[in-house]
Structure formats: C-alpha cells, structure tokens
C-alpha cells in the first residue's frame, strides 16, 4: 500500500520515513488527476463516499439527511478542488502543541518548503485530502443542523445498528456491552464524540482528526483519552449493576 | 508555587496517559490491517485477537483498554445505498462536464434537464437566431392582447334577447 517515490526532498506533501524513502500524500495522484480533468474526481468520490456518509450518519442519525450531507460535501469538494492545498504536515506526529489549545490557521504551513525534520514515520495511507474533505463534511453537517433546527433524536447505538435484533453477528453479551459503550459515547460532549467516531469508525490518526476538528494533535489525544475514560466508567457501572443481579 | 507545579505535573501526566492510550488504539487499528469494525464478529471485546496482541504490550489502564477494544470491535460502518452512490456519481459527472455548477448542485438549485429543454423549445438552443425568439414573443403578446380585447367587448355588449 505504501507508495514510495523518489523526487525532490522536502517539498510540501512529501514525507520522509526513517528509511529515507519519501512518501507522497496517498491521494496526490488522484487529486492531481481530478484537477487536470474534473471528470476524474469520481475516483476520489468512490474512495471516500462511504466514509463521509458514515460520518454524517453518526452525526445526524438520519439516513436521508446523511445522504443529503454526503452529496453536498462532494459537490462542494469538486467545486473547491482547485483551492485545495496539499499539506505534508497533516499527519505529522511530532508537531509541538499545547494540549487543549485550538490551532490557528496561521500556524499551519502552507506552501513553501517543509524541513526534513518535519517528516516523520506516518501511516502509508496518510492523506491531507481526507481531512480537508471531512472539514467540508463537518461544515455541511453544521449547516444542516442549523437548517433543520433540531438535534438528532435517535440514540447513537440505534444509528450504529448495534441494537438491531436481527443482527446475529454479535452475541447478546457483546451487544449489551456495545450498547452501553456507544450510549456513553452518545452522552459525550460534541468534540469528544466526534473524535471517537473519527478514530474508531473512520480510523483516522490523531493528527488527521486534529485537522478536521481544528485542534492540535495533542488536544485530540486528550479528548480521546477522556472520552475512553468516560466510556470505561459507564462499562464499570454497567458491569457492577449486572453483578448485583439487578438491571443496570 | 507548589500548586502551579502540581497542576503542570497533572497536565503532563494526562498528556503521557493520552499518548499511551493513542498508541494502544493505533496498535488495535493497525492490528486488523485497517479492516476495522466487525473483523471478527461475535468475538468478546475483552479477548484480544492474535493481531491485537501487540497492543497488549502497551501499558495502558486496563479499563480504558477494554473500552477501546469494545469500541473498535463494535464500531459499525454504514454504507450508502448503491442507488444513491450512482445518482451522486452521475450528478458529479454532470457538474464536472460543466452542465451543472457544483456550487448550484450543492445548494440544491434546480436546473432544466438539457435534453427535454432542447426538444421542447428548439428556438432556445444556443446559437438560435435572436430575431426568431423576438418575433415569437411579439406574436404571443399580440394574441394575448387580442383575446383580452374580444372578451372585454363581449362583456360590455348587452345580451340579445330572444323573443
């Protein structure tokens, strides 16, 4: 899956791993093709449509609204593609940050040359297009919420399909635990809940989530840590409730 | 002074714990080769798979590890319907060909279906002579005015009585 390539070192969008191989942004080729011929945007669409849809569904808990958000996200992405700037620093794991601080746009390197020290070992599939796309999705979701003027009413575990009694994939106990865990996620503050969904459902790195939520990487790690602590506390309560013989 | 040091220490410890938790989650995700949710349906979340064992070497609060394993094992990735996916792909293709502005499409603007518009109003096709359009509009307006005049004349005229 890794796409090693050899070229000019230190250019934005390229990351060098300790083995000296320069890795290009995973979506660079697709983005460049779509820029030169917008009809080829379809490849990026096919790659990310399910992820964007899942994010929208977890946020809005409504299938139709999620479809609407997905469609508008990709239309806006297509329109905004010429303005998209590939950023080599997106998946950077070692960027200094003040935990909990919101990172300003000015702090992000745009254009110019990135030092080789900025390059760190990253997952080979790291992309700066994906966080950019999800930022659009996040904004479209916010707009959708303003328009519909209502908060999602369906519980997260229902939206996630965990409570589906016809789903034989989960045994009863795991389903109970899963329901407790996702209910706990549902009760988290928006940013923590979003971070959990992006981490566990979309499998984004903390750095990518930081780009989406406009937070530093360290702040995202703290968000996730606190979120998991809250989920663990709920699971503990649930477990002790079951042990005591009563309903949790 | 002591309070400030204590607070700084607490924040540092939180960051270290958060780093460990993140490393653990990263190992969990990497362990399944990115297949993520439902890789082994039915498996107890508290039982790490062979792929997840590397994660077990990272020191992290066992309760947090349990929660992470559970979320990882049960995270569900919904997929949009095939019909929806194809419909959006067609709209994106139309936008890419310039038949539909992507901003308009995103805003939900309704545009005429090109084939139907061309079939019903051939004179409106791009490149049609302007004189034809203008004379059609004048003829339409003249017909409307004529009809209105006839109606007014008939209303104003007393009805003929039949003996």
Q: What is the mean pLDDT of residues B30-46?
A: 46
Q: Flag if A99 and B11 touch (Cβ within 8 Å).
A: yes
Identify the residue with better confidence: B41 or B161: B161
**Nearest beta carbon to residue A39 from set B37, B66, B97:** B97
> What's the whole-number average pLDDT of chain B?
72
CB contact under 8 A, B89 and A42: yes
**Cβ separation of B70 and A181 shorter than 8 Å?**
yes
Residue B29 has pLDDT above 50, yes or no: yes
Q: In the prediction, which pLDDT does A194 show?
A: 93
Contact A119, A88 (CB under 8 A): yes
Residue A49 lies in a domain: yes
DSSP H or E segment with residue A109? none
- pLDDT tier, B82 (very low <50, low <70, confident <90, very high otherwise): very high
Q: How far apart are CA A8 and CA A16, in angstroms?
A: 11
For residue A75, give Cα distances in angstroms to A44, A68, A92, B88, B99.
Answer: 12, 11, 28, 9, 13
Q: Which residues pair with A55 in a beta bridge?
A: none
Does residue B54 surpass a pLDDT of 90? no
Q: What is the pLDDT of residue B91?
A: 93
* Number of neighbours of residue A185 by Cβ within 10 angstroms: 25
Higher-confidence residue of B37 and B83: namely B83
Inter-chain residue contact A41 with B77, CB threshold 8 Å: no
The pLDDT of residue B40 is 42
Higher model confidence: residue A62 or residue B161?
A62
Give A195's contacts in chain B (Cβ within 8 Å).
none
Token pair for residue A178? 């899963």
**Chain B contacts in chain A segment 150-169 (CB below 8 A):** 160-162, 169
Residue A72: its pLDDT value, please?
A: 95
Range in A100-114, A130-144, B118-132 with the lowest mean pLDDT: A100-114
Per CB-CB distance under 8 Å, the chain A contacts of B95 are: 38, 75, 78-79
Predicted local confidence at residue A69, as pLDDT: 95
What integer pLDDT is reported at residue B111 of this predicted model? 45
Q: Greater confidence, A55 or B109? A: A55
Of B22, B74, B89, the CB nearest to A45: B89
Classify A168 as helix, strand or coil. Answer: coil
> Average pLDDT for residues A213-237, to the nearest whole number?
93
pLDDT at B156: 77
Q: What per-residue confidence (pLDDT) applies to A225? A: 95
Residue A49 near residue B80, CB atoms below 8 Å: yes
Distance CA A103, CA A93 (A): 15
R_g of chain A computed on alpha carbons: 20
Question: What pLDDT, on a 0 to 100 scale, did the predictor assign at position B142?
Answer: 85
Q: What is the DSSP letter of A23?
A: E
Q: B85 touching A, CB under 8 A?
A: yes
Q: How confident is the model at residue A131 (pLDDT cuts 50, 70, 90)?
A: very high
Whether A148 and A66 have beta carbons less than 8 Å apart is answered as: no
Which chain A residue has its CA at the smallest distance from B44's CA?
A174
Specify the number of domains making up chain A: 1
Structure tokens at B32: 């399944």
Half-sphere exposure of A200 (CA within 13 A, CB side): 29
Pairwise CB contact (< 8 Å): B79 & A203 = no
Of A37, A74, A203, the CB nearest to B34: A203
Residue of A221, A234, A235 to mutate for B, most B C-beta atoms under 10 A: A221
Domain assignment of residue A193, given as a range:
4-243
Look at B137 and B85; give whichever has higher pLDDT. B85
Of the listed ranges A21-30, A53-62, A90-99, A126-135, the one predicted with least confidence: A90-99
Judge whether A238 lies within some domain: yes
B77/A201 touch (CB, cutoff 8 Å), yes or no? yes
- Look at residues A152, A195, A161 and name the one whose alpha carbon lies nearest to residue A65: A152
B128 has a chain A CB within 8 A of its CB: no
How many pairs of residues across A and B have Cβ atoms under 8 Å apart? 168
Mean pLDDT score of chain A: 74
**pLDDT(B148) > 80:** yes
Interatomic CA distance for residues A157 and A145, integer angstroms: 20
**Residue pLDDT, tens place only, A176-223:** 888 888 889 989 999 999 999 999 999 999 999 999 999 999 999 999
Dist CA A220 CA B159 (whole Å): 87
* B78 sits in which H/E element: none
Tokens of A103: 């990172």
- B36 and A203 in contact by Cβ < 8 A? yes
The 10 Å Cβ neighbour count of residue B96 is 19
Q: Determine the pLDDT at residue B14.
A: 85
Mutate to test the interface with B, among A141, A203, A234 (most CBs of B within 10 A): A203
- Burial zone of A40 (CB within 10 Å; 0-12 exposed, 13-18 middle, 19+ buried): middle
Q: What is the pLDDT of residue B48?
A: 53
Check residue A210 and give its pLDDT. Answer: 94
With a pLDDT cut of 70, the percent of chain B lying above it is 60
Alpha helices in chain A (DSSP H): 28-36, 42-60, 63-80, 129-148, 156-159, 172-186, 190-196, 206-213, 217-243
Within a 10 A sphere around the Cβ of A219, how many other Cβ atoms?
25
Structural domain spans, chain B? 2-74, 79-111, 112-158
CA distances from A234 to A177, B54, B62 (A): 10, 26, 14
- Is residue A248 one of the residues assigned to a domain? no
Residue A135 has pLDDT above 90, yes or no: yes
Name residues whose C-beta falls within 8 Å of residue A18's C-beta, 6 or more positions apart in sequence.
A121
For residue A13, what pLDDT band results from cuts at 50, 70 and 90? very low
* A84 contact partners, CB below 8 Å, separation of at least 6: A31, A77, A129, A132
Quick check: is A133 in a domain?
yes
Calculate what percentage of chain B has a pLDDT beyond 90. Answer: 18
What pLDDT is attached to residue A82?
A: 87
B76, A229: Cβ pair inside 8 Å?
no
**How high is the pLDDT of residue B52?**
52
Contact B58/A at CB under 8 A: no
Look at A181 and B79 and tell me if their CB atoms are within 8 Å.
no
A66 within domain boundaries: yes
- Separation of alpha carbons A30 and A47, rounded Å: 10
| Closest residue in chain B to residue A236, using alpha carbons only | B63
Dist CA A80 CA A73 (whole Å): 10
Given CB atoms, is B74 within the 8 Å cutoff of chain A? yes
pLDDT computed for residue A89 by the predictor: 44
Is residue A209 in a domain?
A: yes
Residues B77-95 have a mean pLDDT of 93
Position A127 pLDDT exceeds 90: no
The pLDDT assigned to A94 comes to 37
Has residue A50 got a pLDDT over 90?
yes
């Amino acid at each position: 899956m890794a796409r090693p390539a050899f070229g000019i070192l230190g250019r934005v969008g390229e990351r060098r791993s300790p083995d000296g191989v320069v890795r290009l942004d995973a979506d660079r080729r697709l983005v460049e093709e779509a820029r030169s011929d917008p009809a080829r945007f379809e490849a990026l669409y096919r790659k990310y449509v399910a992820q964007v849809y899942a994010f929208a569904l977890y946020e809005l808990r409504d299938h139709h609204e999620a479809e609407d958000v997905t469609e508008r996200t990709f239309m806006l992405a297509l329109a905004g593609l010429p303005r998209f700037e590939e950023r080599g620093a997106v998946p950077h794991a070692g960027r200094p940050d003040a935990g909990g601080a919101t990172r300003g746009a000015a702090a992000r390197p745009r254009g110019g040359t990135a030092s080789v020290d900025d390059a760190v070992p990253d997952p080979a599939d790291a992309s700066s297009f994906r966080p950019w796309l999800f930022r659009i999705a996040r904004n479209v979701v916010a707009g959708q919420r303003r328009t519909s003027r209502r908060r999602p009413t369906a519980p997260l575990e229902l939206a996630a399909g965990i409570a589906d009694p016809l789903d034989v994939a989960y045994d009863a106990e795991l389903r109970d635990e899963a329901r407790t865990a996702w209910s706990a996620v549902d009760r988290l503050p928006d940013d923590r809940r979003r971070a959990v969904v992006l981490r566990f459902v979309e499998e984004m790195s903390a750095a990518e989530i930081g780009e989406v939520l406009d937070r530093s990487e360290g702040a995202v790690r703290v968000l996730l840590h606190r979120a998991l602590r809250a989920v663990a506390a709920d699971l503990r309560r649930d477990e002790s409730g079951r042990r005591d013989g009563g309903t949790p | 002074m002591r309070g400030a040091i204590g607070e700084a220490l607490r924040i540092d410890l939180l960051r270290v714990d958060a780093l460990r938790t993140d490393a653990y989650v990263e190992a969990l995700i990497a362990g399944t080769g990115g297949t993520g949710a439902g890789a082994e349906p039915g498996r107890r979340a508290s039982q790490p798979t062979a792929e997840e064992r590397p994660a077990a070497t990272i020191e992290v609060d066992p309760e947090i590890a349990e929660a992470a394993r559970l979320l990882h094992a049960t995270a569900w990735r919904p997929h949009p319907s095939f019909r929806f996916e194809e419909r959006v792909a067609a709209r994106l293709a139309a936008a890419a060909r310039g038949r539909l502005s992507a901003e308009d499409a995103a805003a939900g603007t309704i545009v005429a279906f090109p084939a139907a518009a061309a079939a019903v109003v051939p004179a409106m096709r791009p490149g049609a002579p302007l004189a034809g359009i203008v004379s059609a509009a004048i003829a339409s307006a003249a017909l409307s005015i004529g009809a209105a005049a006839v109606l007014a004349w008939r209303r104003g005229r007393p009805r003929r009585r039949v003996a």
